[in-house]
Amino acid sequence: MPDLIAKPALGTMPLNLGQIVLTEAPMLETHSIQPYPGQEKAVSKALKEIGLAFPKPNTWLEKAGLRIVWTGREQAFLLGGVPPAGMPAAVTDQSDGWVTLTLEGPGARDVLARLVPLDLRHVKKGDAARSGLGHMPLILITEAPDSFRLMTFRSMARTAWHEIHDAMTKVEARRAAS
């Protein structure tokens, strides 16, 4: 069995424009959890073992470095660890399928407003949304009103970076000119 080395999707340096910073986040172990029909409560109970519960739509929860994010109808992603064994749910390891970027700083929401069809004026820590980044799929995790984690398909990492860079350039140009 050869040793497999996990490599980042981009391996690029953070990008600072004005006060906005775009970064490729370290890869986290990512598991999709989809409770079997009617088993959501049982899954929530099983997740207690790691201090978590099945998250309500549009939210995320965290305990001891483990995070669980609502990612769609009857689906959540566990980030940063392994789910308890034997849950009545379809559990798949998707660690190599996603890239996570962080976007932080005053103006981060103005950047997202150019790419994401959501009203982010009132977002707060604990919010999560399944939406789109341009034409790409997006899981948007709000850490603070000006601090976001963005997950999209790893195969689209360079396009996502490019599009966000482009939006950052325009937001920063407007700020500088005003």
Partner 1 sequence: MRLTCPHCGPRDRREFYYYGASEYLNRPGPEAAPDAWDSYLHLRDNPAGVTQDLWYHEQGCTAWLKVTRNTVTHEILAVEAVAGGTK
Q: Closer CB to partner 1, residue 23 or residue 131?
A: 131
Which is nearer to partner 1, 35 or 107 (by Cβ)?
35
H-run or E-run covering 121: none
Q: Which is nearer to partner 1, 58 or 95 (CB)?
A: 58
Task: Answer yes or no: are the C-beta atoms of 158 and 22 closer than 8 Å.
Answer: no
For partner 1, which is the closer residue by CB, 131 or 147?
131
Alpha-carbon torsion (150, 91, 86, 59), positive or negative:
positive
DSSP string covering 139-152, please? EEEEEETTEEEEEE
Going by C-alpha positions, the residue among 78, 80, 81 that lies closest to residue 43 is 78
Nearest distance from residue 144's CB to partner 1, in Å?
A: 20
Sole residue written with tokens 């739509």: 57
Outline where 6-78 has alpha helix (H): 40-47
Q: Return the number of other C-beta atoms located less than 10 Å from residue 122's C-beta.
A: 7
Say which DSSP state 4 is in: P
Shortest distance (Å) from residue 31 CB to partner 1: 18
Other C-beta atoms within 10 Å of 15: how many?
17
What is the smallest separation between the CB atom of 169 and partner 1, expressed in angstroms?
23
Q: Which residues bind partner 1 (CB under 8 A)?
A: 40, 54, 56-58, 72-74, 117-118, 129-132, 137-138
Nearer of residues 57 and 106 to partner 1, judged by Cβ: 57
* Nearest distance from C-beta of residue 91 to partner 1, angstroms: 17
Shortest gap between Cβ of 103 and partner 1 (angstroms)?
Answer: 19
